Amino acid sequence: MALTPGGIVGGKYRVERILGEGGMGIVVAATHLQLGQTVALKCMRPEVVSPSYTKRFMREARASVKLKSQHAARVLDVGAFEDGTPYIVMEHLEGRDLSDLLKIRGRLPVPEAVEYILQACEAIGEAHSYGIVHRDIKPANLFLAEGPGGAPTIKVLDFGVSKFLDIEAQADDTNPGGKARAGSRRPPARTNDSVVTRATDLLGSPSYMAPEQVLNASAADTRSDIWSLGVILFKLVCGRGPFTAESLGELVQQVMKHRIPTVAEILPECPPGFSEVVAKCLERDRLKRYTDIPELARALAPYAPHATAPSLERAAILGPSFSYTPAPPVAISHAPIAPTPLGVAGAQLRLSTPGQFYPMAPQGAPRQAPPAAPPHEPPRYGLAIVAAVAAVLAFFMAAYIAGRSAPQPHPVAPPHSAAIPSHPVVPLEAGTPSPPRPSGAVLLSPLPPSAPSGVAPERR
């Protein structure tokens, strides 16, 4: 491999300097010969190259290239050296990761820590929407770069141990809730997805791994990433993590069994309710954690600075999150929808977007498909009813008006001022016309209070 300064990689990248080295790979700064663009070139060490690790390495490229969020490190190219060792070309970042930041500053104010976590949530939530679980979220994989205008911008790195959720994992009815069982054996590496975990592998960083991931790496789902974010948030604001073991065995015991301290115990001055948000991320039973990244983002919103609003809004609408908990039954459709990476329709948020649900006509109703849909108009039977009611009202109004306009006779009052109809009526004097008989018609509206209490004459 030509990774010395001045070496040419892939016929178009000139190596400038080494940026970092790890157990599996090396990252160097390089310049594109034609474009003059500075990039980061990441390659595997020759001594660790194997089919499984090569698959894991290339999985990082495939996972990262799907993401469009500005908070995910962009993959620009892939290739291989002459000996077959693969490399990934990524955007070059200037800054430091949160692990180094903590070493310099000790701990961060709550609003600043929440801002960084919400920015990470935007990229991780987008990954979840594609059915990708990161499985190795830690401060070293959250890079604080300089964004537009010098604003601090989090970039999520290293999807190398990510997992693509599949239908088999989603429908594990033999393991209710998707919780890993103690003593359960890990399945062998499968060829129908990107899980390459073997019994000797411990994928992820134990200090940030959820209990179900400690027991079985392939049992991790989106809520396992939420646990990791909770541990990071705890450490950012407290200056130390919730687990302080000195050995791997002790750490596993603390993660699995020991009481988990709260942020309020270490940082009593933290904002009210903030400690509870972190504690919910760290529930051992993942059914009690936040269901998905949008729910976590909404819970963190009250503690975020105003400048984080764009990331908050984007993180809060991302979805669907593929986890073992089905979506709340608020919008159910039996119509087919576009397939997702998992081929499931129980998505959390994206399924509520316009165009996903199709109203079904009542069974047996006639279907018409004209070339151009005419403007909507009320049903014809409705118009007939309206016309009939209008005709009846017009008839009664005409009758009422005619009765009111006819000359009104002046009946002679009976001898008693409070006569009752059952009493006999005093005969009228000769020559006085007989009073009209009451009509059986019902008035459409009450008479004014000043009107006489007579009734309309009967029409013959």
Bigger pLDDT: 320 vs 179? 320
| CATH no., domain 94-166+203-326 | 1.10.510.10
What was the pLDDT predicted at 417? 41
Q: What share of the chain is helix, strand, coil (3-state, %, to 5)?
A: 35, 10, 50
Give domain limits for the chain. 1-92, 94-166+203-326
Q: What is the mean pLDDT of residues 390-419?
A: 51
CA separation for the pair 18, 25 (Å, rounded): 11
Is the confidence at residue 288, as pLDDT, over 50? Answer: yes
Over the stretch 122-141, which tens digit does the pLDDT of each residue have? 999 999 998 888 888 999 99
From the number of C-beta atoms within 10 Å of its C-beta (0-12, 13-18, 19+), residue 60 rates as buried
Helix axes 222-238, 110-129, angle to 10 degrees: 170
What was the pLDDT predicted at 391? 62
Q: What is the pTM of this model?
A: 0.60
CA separation for the pair 237, 110 (Å, rounded): 6
Report the DSSP beta bridge partners of residue 26: 21, 43
Bigger pLDDT: 165 vs 167? 165
What was the pLDDT predicted at 151? 84
**What is the phi/psi pair of residue 339, to 5°?**
-65, 145
CA separation for the pair 114, 120 (Å, rounded): 10
CA separation for the pair 200, 53 (Å, rounded): 13
Over the stretch 24-66, which tens digit does the pLDDT of each residue have? 778 999 999 999 999 999 888 877 778 877 777 777 777 778 8
Strand 163-164 versus strand 86-91 pairing type: unpaired
Residue 425: count of CB within 10 angstroms of its CB: 11
What was the pLDDT predicted at 148? 74
DSSP 8-state symbol, 72: B
From the number of C-beta atoms within 10 Å of its C-beta (0-12, 13-18, 19+), residue 134 rates as buried
Bigger pLDDT: 187 vs 458? 458
What was the pLDDT predicted at 53? 77
What was the pLDDT predicted at 48? 75
What was the pLDDT predicted at 137? 93
pLDDT band at 169 (very low <50, low <70, confident <90, very high): very low
What is 1-92's CATH superfamily? Phosphorylase Kinase; domain 1 (3.30.200.20)
Q: Which residue in this structure is represented by tokens 């490399």?
A: 87
Tell me the percentage of the chain whose pLDDT exceeds 90: 34
Tell me the percentage of the chain whose pLDDT exceeds 70: 56
What was the pLDDT predicted at 222? 92
CA separation for the pair 39, 153 (Å, rounded): 18
What is the average pLDDT score of the chain? 69
Q: What is the mean pLDDT of residues 82-100?
A: 89
Q: What is the mean pLDDT of residues 147-151?
A: 78
Bigger pLDDT: 317 vs 364? 317
pLDDT band at 287 (very low <50, low <70, confident <90, very high): very high
pLDDT band at 244 (very low <50, low <70, confident <90, very high): confident
What was the pLDDT predicted at 143? 94
What was the pLDDT predicted at 311? 57
Is the confidence at residue 365, as pLDDT, over 60? Answer: no
What was the pLDDT predicted at 58? 79
Q: What is the mean pLDDT of residues 198-224?
A: 77
Q: Per this entry, what is the length of the chain?
A: 460
What was the pLDDT predicted at 62? 79
Q: Tell me the range of 45-54, 66-75, 266-275 where mean pLDDT is highest.
A: 266-275
Is the confidence at residue 184, as pLDDT, over 70? Answer: no
CA atoms within 13 A on the CB side of 447: 14
